[in-house]
Structure 1
Amino acid sequence: MKLSWRLWPLLLLSTACTAEPADVVQSEAARFEVKVLTRKLDHPWGLAFLPDGRMLVTERIGRLRLVAADGRLDPVPVSGVPKVVAEGQGGLFDVALHPDFKRNGWVYLSYSAGSGGLTGTEVARGRLDGHALRDVATLFRMQPKSSGGQHFGGRIVFDRAGFLYLTLGDRGEMPRAQLPGDHAGSVIRLTDEGRVPNDNPYVARLGWRPEKYTLGNRNPQGLALDPAGQLWLTEHGPQGGDELNRVVAGANYGWPVVTHGRQYITGAKIGEGKSKPGMRDPVYVWGPTSIAPSGLAFYTGMRFPAWRGDLFLGALRDQMLVRLRLKDGKVVHEERLIKNRLGRIRDVRNGPDGYLYLLTDEDDGVLARLEPAP
């Protein structure tokens, strides 16, 4: 049958708005579909949900994109993003909304920036106005800047009191994670305006960066609040040393003095061992093979009742989603899902609609959603 030319626009519109066939998975606790909403994202890194149902997605090359609730990608990127140095693992990282976004419109971005070959992680904010960020200002600049294209950290989260947390990697220079006057290898804590809170643990200590909240972190790229308001993080360790940690003010997580991992190529020992007094042990360790943990989210929705309270994280290695069951602050069970079926999972988000959302770190990156299977 030959179609009239008048019907082609309707046919194209219908095709553009139809989601791809879903991949059905039977897990231990739920049967679900992996529905791809959007493709053609360039190494997406972070995701935030706007009150009107749309989503903001960062692309590592330095673009901030708008995605409709049904997955349609807005062809016009959001302007006003700060200048990003997208080299190596660097680029535009996470995106978060101010807790009072409905009133003030503030959007927060983390990214790598610098000049003269020296870069570091920074945080800026701007007011979202249509397809633009207005009144953009840099709130934090990692110091000192350094060369090299790895271990930027970059995950940002607001806690219930409205404080902003940012993870920072050691930049590939291991000793920096233990230096009090260096931002590298730490979690920092700021007010929503970028100021140092008066109760930060090192604010009154001579020689310490007052923004530091922890130290001894290698490259944390997962950060999430649990239902009780406790902050958790995952970080990339060396071979066999990936960690899940509970974030505690003033804690030293040991890198590179203590670690459960070894050097990648030689297998040589790193530091003094696996534990040391005065340094906080991880809650959970992945080994002897690393999984390269990334985005992190506690599931609190109603779509999957059996998953409520479970912790989900992306794993770049083996391209999988990991589910952890916690009890009394300890991991009591681990399940590995959709291995090698979707891509390198960079971010995991608990959606306001009760679904779980995933981003894959690929040239043709996807935004996907987990939905209960019929």
Structure 2
Amino acid sequence: MKNINKALAISLLSLMSLASCSDTLNGADIVVSPKNQEIKSEIFVENDGIPWGMAWLPNGDLLVTMRGGELRLIQDGKLVEQPITGLPEIAVKQQGGLLDIILHPNYADNGWLYLSYSKADGNGNFSTAIMRAKLNGLSLVEQQDIYVAQAYGDRGVHFGSRLAFDDNGYLYFSIGDRGQRDINPQDITRDAGKIYRIFDDGRIPEDNPFIDVQGAKKAIYSYGHRNPQGMAKHPKTGEIWTHEHGPKGGDEVNIISKGKNYGWPVISYGVNYSGTSFTELTEKEGMEQPAWYWEPSIAPSGMMFVTSDKYPQWQGNLLVGSMKFGYLVMLTLNGNTVVKEEVVKDELIRVRSMSVGPDGLIYLGIDGKGIYRLVP
């Protein structure tokens, strides 16, 4: 798929050069691949933790989840000394801890914010939980777990945990395969290795794809995922896009569709970390192909569509952070097709999360460094 996309990009650019001022091809709108902008990354707030998620409050304050188990508030460009209290008991283990955060689309009216975190069962096992709460000063109140995955295991990996709301107010979230690729992702009677869809209070929509399947986890929306740590709603189509970690290679960008199987681990463009193969298949009937994939792996984390007018040459395209290489990747889109990939900012260390601020600037959470912003 990636090679096909690259070939399409070359063809589109060649045709556009021949077409002079034309901005359509066979009736389809053409997105001209943008040039890199000169961009400066500057520190906003320093912190030596892992800033897993960010959410901007209506008053311009910023909430940041630290994987080590703290929720922090940034006011007027300064980190408030006292962490926010009222968090649940969080199991901080390897990749687990306090993970993503998102505000309800009607936050100004109802005050609900949503968090994902790793939860212990008291027997040395861990799973992914989704909770909602309200912020009262520097404390969370009215805390409610609205989904706790029955995916407990003693491995501290692949919690997934990105969150997004769609245009209809449904909450989507990801849970990774928990390091059990051979039993979880392809089995809809088991949590883990899935994308989920629920109401904002945890109820299950009656039109979820597996609602009538005996034994199925009713909140599942799609399955066959490894460890999705990027999720964003397309600003025009309203579709939910995700990216997920492959093993050694095979990181994917996927457009999530109801009830679809995304193939892990039956099909993959990656191999084991040792270099050995676990599947000979990169495609199979009944399984979805990625919209894009990386070989070698970039270890993607964080994801957003560019809508801010501060970056006019990036408008409508998809940004993905790389933890492995410490850069920011832009995928140029023509509809739902990726026609070009380019690194638009490097030397960032481990890019963990991203968000657009009320000033229209893009803010990046960088492991061990804090929050940076990109200034054109």
User: 1:263 is matched with which residue?
Assistant: 272
Given that residues 313 and 347 in structure 1 are in contact (C-alpha distance below 8 angstroms), is that contact kept between their aligned partners in structure 2? no
Given that residues 325 and 333 in structure 1 are in contact (C-alpha distance below 8 angstroms), is that contact kept between their aligned partners in structure 2? yes
User: 1:71 is matched with which residue?
Assistant: 77
User: 1:225 is matched with which residue?
Assistant: 233
User: 1:242 is matched with which residue?
Assistant: 251
* Pairwise CA distance, 1:48: 0.4
The number of aligned residues is 340
* Pairwise CA distance, 1:51: 0.3
Q: Of the candidates 134, 137, 150, which is equivalent to residue 144 of structure 2?
A: 137
Helix, strand or coil: the match of 2:47? strand
* Pairwise CA distance, 1:342: 2.4
State the TM-score, normalizing by the size of structure 1. 0.89
Query: What CA distance in whole angstroms lies between the structure 1 residues aligned with 2:151 and 2:309?
Result: 45
1:111 aligns with 2:117: yes
Query: What CA distance in whole angstroms lies between the structure 1 residues aligned with 2:79 and 2:99?
Result: 19
* Pairwise CA distance, 1:105: 1.0
User: 1:207 is matched with which residue?
Assistant: 215
User: 1:24 is matched with which residue?
Assistant: none
User: 2:370 is matched with which residue?
Assistant: 366
1:304 aligns with 2:311: yes
* Pairwise CA distance, 1:337: 3.2
Helix, strand or coil: the match of 1:178? coil
Query: What CA distance in whole angstroms lies between the structure 2 residues aligned with 1:371 and 1:286?
Result: 27
In the TM superposition, what whole-angstrom CA distance separates every residue of 1:250-284 from its partner, at most 9, and x where no partner exists?
0100001010101111x222234000000001111
Q: Which moves more between the two structures, 345-354 or 306-315?
A: 345-354
* Pairwise CA distance, 1:322: 0.7
Given that residues 37 and 344 in structure 2 are in contact (C-alpha distance below 8 angstroms), is that contact kept between their aligned partners in structure 1? no
Given that residues 186 and 214 in structure 1 are in contact (C-alpha distance below 8 angstroms), is that contact kept between their aligned partners in structure 2? yes
Given that residues 128 and 151 in structure 2 are in contact (C-alpha distance below 8 angstroms), is that contact kept between their aligned partners in structure 1? no
Taking only aligned residues, the RMSD between alpha carbons, in angstroms, comes to: 1.2
Given that residues 326 and 333 in structure 1 are in contact (C-alpha distance below 8 angstroms), is that contact kept between their aligned partners in structure 2? yes
Given that residues 39 and 345 in structure 2 are in contact (C-alpha distance below 8 angstroms), is that contact kept between their aligned partners in structure 1? no
* Pairwise CA distance, 1:41: 4.3
User: 1:88 is matched with which residue?
Assistant: 94
Given that residues 43 and 373 in structure 2 are in contact (C-alpha distance below 8 angstroms), is that contact kept between their aligned partners in structure 1? yes
Given that residues 258 and 270 in structure 1 are in contact (C-alpha distance below 8 angstroms), is that contact kept between their aligned partners in structure 2? no
Helix, strand or coil: the match of 1:306? helix
Given that residues 301 and 353 in structure 1 are in contact (C-alpha distance below 8 angstroms), is that contact kept between their aligned partners in structure 2? no
User: 1:330 is matched with which residue?
Assistant: 337
Query: What CA distance in whole angstroms lies between the structure 2 residues aligned with 1:144 and 1:52?
Result: 37
**Superposition pairs of residues 95-174 of structure 1, within 5 angstroms:** 95-114=101-120, 115-174=122-181
Q: Which moves more between the two structures, 33-42 or 53-62?
A: 33-42
Q: Of the candidates 261, 265, 276, which is equivalent to residue 284 of structure 2?
A: 276
User: 1:343 is matched with which residue?
Assistant: 349
Structure 1 residue runs of 5 or longer lacking an equivalent are 1-26
Given that residues 177 and 255 in structure 1 are in contact (C-alpha distance below 8 angstroms), is that contact kept between their aligned partners in structure 2? yes
Query: What CA distance in whole angstroms lies between the structure 2 residues aligned with 1:61 and 1:53?
Result: 24
* Pairwise CA distance, 1:71: 2.2
* Pairwise CA distance, 1:186: 0.3
Query: What CA distance in whole angstroms lies between the structure 1 residues aligned with 2:234 and 2:154?
Result: 35
Query: What CA distance in whole angstroms lies between the structure 1 residues aligned with 2:71 and 2:206?
Result: 33
The structure, 1 or 2, with the larger RCO (C-alpha pairs under 8 Å, 6+ apart) is 2
* Ranges of 4+ aligned residues in structure 1 off by more than 2 Å: 350-353
Paired-residue identity, %:
41
Given that residues 157 and 179 in structure 2 are in contact (C-alpha distance below 8 angstroms), is that contact kept between their aligned partners in structure 1? yes
1:352 aligns with 2:361: no
Given that residues 146 and 201 in structure 2 are in contact (C-alpha distance below 8 angstroms), is that contact kept between their aligned partners in structure 1? yes
Query: What CA distance in whole angstroms lies between the structure 2 residues aligned with 1:130 and 1:272?
Result: 54
Query: What CA distance in whole angstroms lies between the structure 1 residues aligned with 2:129 and 2:217?
Result: 15
In the TM superposition, what whole-angstrom CA distance separates every residue of 1:57-112 from its partner, at most 9, and x where no partner exists?
000111100012x4210111111111100001000000111111111111110000
Given that residues 151 and 178 in structure 2 are in contact (C-alpha distance below 8 angstroms), is that contact kept between their aligned partners in structure 1? no
* Pairwise CA distance, 1:29: 3.1
Given that residues 104 and 111 in structure 2 are in contact (C-alpha distance below 8 angstroms), is that contact kept between their aligned partners in structure 1? yes
Helix, strand or coil: the match of 1:205? coil
* Pairwise CA distance, 1:28: 3.0
Q: Aligned AA for 2:263? A: G
